[in-house]
A and B are shown apart, each in its own frame.
Chain A
Amino acid sequence: NAGVTQTPKFRILKIGQSMTLQCTQDMNHNYMYWYRQDPGMGLKLIYYSVGAGITDKGEVPNGYNVSRSTTEDFPLRLELAAPSQTSVYFCASRQGSSGYTFGSGTRLTVV
């Protein structure tokens, strides 16, 4: 029972580089979310998806893109990394009225 799996766990990017944070879940959940957590702050929603082929912006979508081609996968794309994107990123999934299941996070540093 893997739950929500995020890769990589750590990454250092240079300004202007791009990367994709991977997220996959094996619970057949329809809803998936990307959050970022900055020091001393709560989790802020970046993007979410209510099912394959459907995505929408959260509170802080600028600088990010997502896709949801399958129920299992919800990758987050950074096209031009900026220092402001240094954060810990969490992917989560949910089904119905159940609580969220979170991945273990990706710690990203942009230098």
Chain B
Amino acid sequence: DQQVKQNSPSLSVQEGRISILNCDYTNSMFDYFLWYKKYPAEGPTFLISISSIKDKNEDGRFTVFLNKSAKHLSLHIVPSQPGDSAVYFCAALDRSNAGGTSYGKLTFGQGTILTVHP
């Protein structure tokens, strides 16, 4: 039961253009969403997050959009740079159950490999 899905295994973009990475979820209890970036031979690093009370969060070149009714979020990178080439993971959290059985466990999508060509 994949509660967080990233249906595009890979994305290729030209430098300077926009990269859009998508993520869908099925669990309506998720109320906090995060994007992680992972380079080879390194652990995932936090990129940007969004609470379910918002529909947009921006941080420099990175913007995350949340559509709760569609249970969909997306990460926009503008402009894309070759250094952005990495695996991007979408993750979701049910913070209301932080003291219960979930204990703040992140549920991850499968990841999308982003390649930005010079």
Taking Cβ atoms with an 8 Å cutoff, the residues of A that contact B are 4, 6, 31, 33, 35, 40-45, 48, 50, 56, 58, 90, 92, 94, 97, 99-105
Say whether A100 contacts B106, CB under 8 Å.
yes
Q: Which residues of B line the A interface, CB within 8 A?
A: 4, 6, 9, 32, 34, 36, 41-46, 49, 89, 95, 103-111
Is the beta-carbon distance between B43 and A102 smaller than 8 angstroms?
A: yes
Interface of B is mostly: loop
Let me know if B111 and A42 touch, CB within 8 A: yes
What's the A-B contact tally at a CB cutoff of 8 Å? Answer: 57
Residue of A nearest to B101 (CB): A56
Q: Is there an interface contact between A4 and B43, defined as CB atoms closer than 8 Å?
A: yes
Contact A56 B103 (CB under 8 A): yes
Are A90's CB and B44's CB within 8 A?
yes
Asked if B103 and A104 make an inter-chain contact with CB atoms under 8 angstroms apart, the answer reads: no
Q: Which of B32, B49, B110 has the most CB atoms of chain A within a 10 A radius of its CB?
A: B110
